[in-house]
Amino acid sequence: KAGVTQTPRYLIKTRGQQVTLSCSPISGHRSVSWYQQTPGQGLQFLFEYFSETQRNKGNFPGRFSGRQFSNSRSEMNVSTLELGDSALYLCASSWWTSGAENTDTQYFGPGTRLTVL
Amino acid sequence: DAKTTQPPSMDCAEGRAANLPCNHSTISGNEYVYWYRQIHSQGPQYIIHGLKNNETNEMASLIITEDRKSSTLILPHATLRDTAVYYCIVRFHRGSGNTGKLIFGQGTTLQVKP
């Protein structure tokens, strides 16, 4: 079974631009979460989606947004990019569904490396 | 803040067992212990998880103390490819109002040496 895929793998943008990152979960997984990893802050939770609904959001400004489609694929968008948004953006998917709390292991994709110049 | 404490770094000789400790003294009764590892610039890789009992899979063993306040991840025969940052995370599974977010600490950098 294919793992979590993320596109693009590398991206270079300039300040003020916006960017959209894509995540395809493992087949059959309906829950998708996003994380940001920087050298200074480590791995931080951005948001999670299940059944096209955002279920939880981390402590990030409104410039960070996301969505999930009916096929469970997810996108995240960062508008008005700042230098500090340079990071590895990671997507994780899970088989979790309501009523099946023992199936909540999250599997990560390879990440998208975003560089803001 | 992360609810776990791990040593920042450890060394292990290739072929020997690597024992990575984790303290989680404030763990709740329904919180699971999860281990992930991250090889440089790659996405975190799931290793193993457990609730109360010791667990073993093809990658590692997880030993949880009886009071659940600490655990040890054991890589039985470490190889150079096991060099990575290892994260110990305690979390609820989703449901009953719990979220799925993982809270990562700084982890333990394991260096496997020839």
B contacts of A104 (beta carbons < 8 Å): 93-94, 100
Interface of A with B in 82-101 (CB under 8 A): 88, 90, 92, 94, 96, 98-99, 101
CA distance B20 to B70: 11
Kindly list the averaged pLDDT for each block of 10 residues, start to end, along chain A of length 117: 92 98 95 94 93 92 97 97 97 78 84 98
A58 contact residues in B (CB cutoff 8 A)? 101
- From chain A, the residues in CB contact with B105 under 8 A are 42
- CA distances (Å), origin B80, targets A93, B6, B9, B15, B45: 28, 21, 15, 9, 16
Please report the pLDDT score of residue A64 as a whole number.
98
Task: Give SS3 for B82.
Answer: helix
Q: Taking chain B (114 residues) in consecutive chunks of 10 residues, what is each chunk's mean pLDDT?
A: 88 97 92 94 94 94 96 97 96 75 93 97
Give the pLDDT confidence score for residue B71 in this predicted structure: 97
Instruction: Please tell me the predicted confidence (pLDDT) of residue A43.
Output: 94
Mutate to test the interface with A, among B51, B57, B93, B109 (most CBs of A within 10 A): B93
Q: Which of A104, A107, A113 to mutate to test the interface with B (most CBs of B within 10 A)?
A: A104
pLDDT at A2: 82
φ and ψ at residue A75, rounded to 5 degrees: -130, 150
- Alpha-carbon torsion, ordered A90, A48, A42, A75, to 10 deg: 30
Q: Number of A:B CB contacts under 8 A?
A: 69
Determine what percent of chain B falls in helix, strand and coil, rounding each to the nearest 5: 5, 45, 50
pLDDT of residue B101: 85
A77: left (phi over 0), alpha (psi -120 to 50) or beta: beta
Q: Report the pLDDT value the prediction gives residue A97, as an integer from 0 to 100.
A: 65
Per-residue confidence (pLDDT) for residue B110, from 0 to 100: 98
Residues 6+ apart with CB under 8 A from B10: B18, B20, B108, B109, B110, B111
According to the model, what pLDDT value does residue B6 have?
Answer: 97
Contact (CB<8Å) A56/B103: no
Q: What is d(CA B45, CA A43) in angstroms, rounded to the nearest whole number?
A: 13
